[in-house]
């Protein structure tokens, strides 16, 4: 187990280095941040001075090495646009994105697994057919269109929920949360549904497909022949084996929730790191863009590592194969 973890961590470090290199390379073609920092009356001397202050006059390998050196020390550089440390800006915006991602993930996992199990057990019922047909909406429609439709129905027509913003927040140390206020709870409902709907339908369909396959297996038939109750067959034998392949997809989707929060945050003007990334592209704020992508990469790597470890907890065959050296 320890050797497996060490190998995965080393692989993750290589992935992060490659992602950082690719991101830095692409940002060189986004534009010149000096054009946005200086006015129309800038001189050649002003341009050279600013480029020297920002370190943009250095070769690309030197810029990338300095960025990595700062990241290892918790220093992500200074924002070209705001003139503030990027770490402070991310710390202000991260709670909003992580809170939205957590609520969306909870919505997707709980509802996805519940509906997936139900539609597998009652696969011929009219309600199951209705749920499966309705789930095509979450799979087919793009995220931004789902968000606009929800805003039109629940914010514009019915007036039940706010259409933008995070609502009132409460400061708990360095963390800010809107889950402790009424306006904050209302504000997060539409963005969370918009962000988690696709993942929920994907998880639901995957759980249903795996559950149906497991229910047709021999050991389930043997469990029924032994006279076990339907509840024991479904939830003790079938569901546990169903979750093994589901964990991989679910883990990747949780990473996608954070990565693709950009669209949802833009539609609902949610003050998170996704909206910050969009604004940084407009102003060619390279430190913010690079730090955001590195942050998302770290989250993906950590989630994948957790998923691999969960395999051992759910499927004892994997532990046995590792222990036997296979």
The vertex-112 CA angle with 108 and 115, nearest 5°, equals: 145
Mean pLDDT within 54-78: 76
User: What pLDDT was estimated at residue 322?
Assistant: 52
Higher model confidence: residue 198 or residue 232? 198
Tell me the pLDDT band of 321, cut-offs 50, 70 and 90.
low
pLDDT at residue 191 tops 90: yes
Banded model confidence at residue 189, pLDDT cuts 50, 70, 90: very high
pLDDT of residue 193: 92
Chain position carrying tokens 């915006």: 93
- Cα 319–chain centre separation: 28
pLDDT for 39: 63
Segments making up each domain of the chain, as ranges: 2-72, 87-284+297-323
The predicted-structure confidence for 230-240, as pLDDT tens digits, reads as follows 777 776 667 77
- In this prediction, residues 268-287 reach a mean pLDDT of 84
Helix (H) or strand (E) holding 285: none
275 pLDDT higher than 80: yes
pTM, entire model: 0.78
Enter the CATH code of domain 87-284+297-323: 1.10.3720.10
pLDDT score for 154: 92
Please check the confidence at residue 312 and state whether its pLDDT lies above 70.
Answer: no
Q: Which of 237, 235, 250, 199 is nearest to 118 (CA)?
A: 235
Q: What is the pLDDT of residue 325?
A: 46
Across the chain, mean pLDDT equals 79
Tokens 């990027």 found at? 86
Region 263-292: what's the mean pLDDT? Answer: 84
Specify the higher pLDDT residue, 263 or 256.
263
Residue 326 pLDDT grade (very low, low, confident, very high; cuts 50, 70, 90): very low
């Amino acid at each position: 187990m320890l050797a497996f973890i060490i190998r995965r961590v080393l692989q993750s470090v290589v992935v992060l280095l490659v992602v950082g290199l690719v991101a830095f390379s692409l940002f060189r073609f986004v534009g010149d941040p000096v054009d946005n920092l200086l006015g129309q009356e800038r001189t050649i001397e002003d341009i050279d001075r600013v480029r020297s202050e920002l370190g943009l006059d250095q070769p690309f390998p030197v810029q990338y090495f300095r960025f990595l050196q700062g990241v290892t020390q918790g220093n992500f550089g200074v924002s070209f646009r705001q003139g503030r440390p990027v770490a402070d800006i991310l710390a202000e915006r991260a709670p909003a994105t992580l809170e939205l991602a957590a609520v969306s993930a909870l919505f997707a996992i709980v509802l996805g697994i519940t509906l997936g199990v139900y539609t597998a057990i009652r696969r011929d019922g009219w309600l199951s057919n209705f749920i499966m047909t309705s789930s095509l909406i979450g799979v087919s429609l793009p995220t931004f269109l789902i968000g606009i439709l929800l805003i039109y129905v629940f914010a514009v027509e019915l007036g039940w929920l706010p259409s933008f913003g995070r609502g009132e927040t409460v400061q708990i140390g360095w963390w800010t949360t809107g889950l402790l206020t009424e306006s904050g709870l209302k504000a997060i409902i539409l963005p969370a549904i918009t962000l988690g709907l696709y993942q929920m339908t994907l998880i639901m369909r995957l759980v249903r497909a795996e559950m149906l396959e497991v229910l047709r297996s021999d050991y389930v038939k043997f469990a029924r022949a032994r006279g076990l109750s339907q509840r024991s067959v479904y939830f003790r034998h079938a569901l546990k084996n169903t979750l093994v392949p589901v964990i991989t997809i679910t883990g990747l989707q949780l990473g996608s929730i954070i990565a693709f929060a950009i669209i949802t945050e833009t539609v609902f003007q949610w003050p998170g790191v996704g909206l910050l990334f969009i604004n940084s592209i407009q102003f060619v704020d390279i430190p913010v863009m690079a730090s955001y992508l590195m942050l998302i990469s770290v989250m993906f790597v950590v989630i994948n590592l957790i998923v691999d470890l969960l395999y051992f907890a759910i499927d004892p065959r994997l532990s046995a194969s590792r222990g036997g050296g296979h």
